[in-house]
Amino acid sequence: MIQIKKVAVIGAGTMGASIAAALIAKNYPVLLKESSEAYLEKGLSTIDSILKKGVEKGKISPDDAKRQRELITGTLDYAGFSDIDLVIEAVPEQIEIKQSVLKELNENCHENAIIASNTSSMSISQLGSFSGRAEKTIGMHFFNPAHLMKLVEIIPGLLTNKETIETVIDFVQGLGKLAVQVDECASFLVNRLLGRYMNESLWCLQEGIASQEEIDQKTCEYNMPVGPLALRDMNGADIGLSVARYNQSEYGLRFEVPPLLESMVKANYLGKKTKKGFYIYDESGAKLGPNKDLDQFVKTGTSGDFRAERLFLPMINEAFLALQENVCRKEDLDKALCAGLGMRKGPLALANEMGLSKCLLLMEENFKQHGERFRPASLLKRYVFAGRESID
């Protein structure tokens, strides 16, 4: 394995600054690069705020905060990159930007330096071709906020070598994170499964079987720290639509984009950033109540039969599909979902608790009613045909 002594982060936005904060917390000197002085200053201010909150909450001492802050060096060029061992790019999710950055990194880093991308969905194999060092290019997908969230998905590209994979997994574990190796696929593991659950919450609302508040409340009571519609408002309906379209283009009709999401983006009901999404918000971001203007996009008069488990059935099914494809190890799947999403029980644990035969029965019933979103995974059927009620 390669010894990582010095790290660079490209991009000082929300994720880049948070990743840098996670690195300095473990005593790594970090070179933080941005394209302009204004962006760099904003990123350094974000890190200062993270450290200040840590002191206020008693998690670190003022001396520790000062020492960590001194580990950060801001830069607008590649002058100091010749001795960097690992670069983590956290630039915007636009292929042209990443292509340009990766080319520049290949020209300015030493030949043994590893290039990691924090992309949440882009092909690592394609990014490897841009980098000119595919064997040393890998996905390192942190979850937001990176300095607090435990999960990091490690995604090798087609040509990533074993030494790079082992080095990055060891490095991430050294940060105190859960490193889960994921085979390359659209949206990787956690966001892929999350997409099925998020879409189904929109279908339920669109069908009029439950209100925004009922869907979020029952889902939280069932298994989640925050409801899917409140979460969509936090992240933005426009971002959600972009991801949903991408997933449908890659996986087909089981990821069909709910028309409700399209309608919301057209109406500029994007969530907290426009003060109106599934809910209405005041200037401080506090929730004022449900957005009644959504009534024009949903059916009425059919509420009363919503069960939170309906949202998790597509996620469970996608978990079995991911296992069929060897996207991750079976023992890592629930750990990743719980660490990445805050689920109290992962999808495989939910399936076990439900019983695989009942899980399949519910999937088949919903498949008859709703179509491709619930077509049972062949692996789930095989377990049931073999008389197994648990995947353990």
Alpha-carbon gap, residue 113 to 380, rounded angstroms: 42
- How far apart, in whole angstroms, are the C-alpha atoms of residue 194 and residue 372? 17
**Phi and psi, residue 197, nearest 5°:** -65, -45
Contacts of 246 (CB under 8 A, 6+ apart): 121, 186, 187
Residue in the block written with tokens 């809910």: 279
> Could you tell me which residues are beta bridge partners of residue 51?
none
Would you list the DSSP string of 210-238?
S-HHHHHHHHHHHT-SS-HHHHHHHH-HH
Whether residue 290 contacts residue 279, with contact meaning beta carbons closer than 8 Å, is answered with yes
Read off the tokens for 73: 């060096």
Cα separation, 294 vs 179, whole angstroms: 40
Residues 6+ apart with CB under 8 A from 259: 206, 297
How far is CA 296 from each of CA 75, 208, 212, 229, 279, rounded to the nearest angstrom? 50, 11, 14, 17, 15
Backbone conformation region of residue 268, classed left if phi is above 0, alpha if psi is from -120 to 50, else beta: left
| 272-276 contact pairs (CB < 8 A, 24+) | 272/233, 272/234, 272/236, 273/236
Q: Catalytic residue numbers?
A: 141
- Which three-class secondary structure state does DSSP give residue 372? helix
- What does the DSSP 8-state code read for residue 289? E
Q: Which residues contact 15 (CB under 8 A, 6 or more apart)?
A: 90, 118, 142, 144, 146
State phi, psi for 130 to the nearest 5 degrees.
-70, -35
Triad 165, 166, 167: Cα angle to 5°: 95
> In terms of DSSP bridges, do strands 137-142 and 30-33 run parallel, antiparallel, or are they unpaired?
unpaired
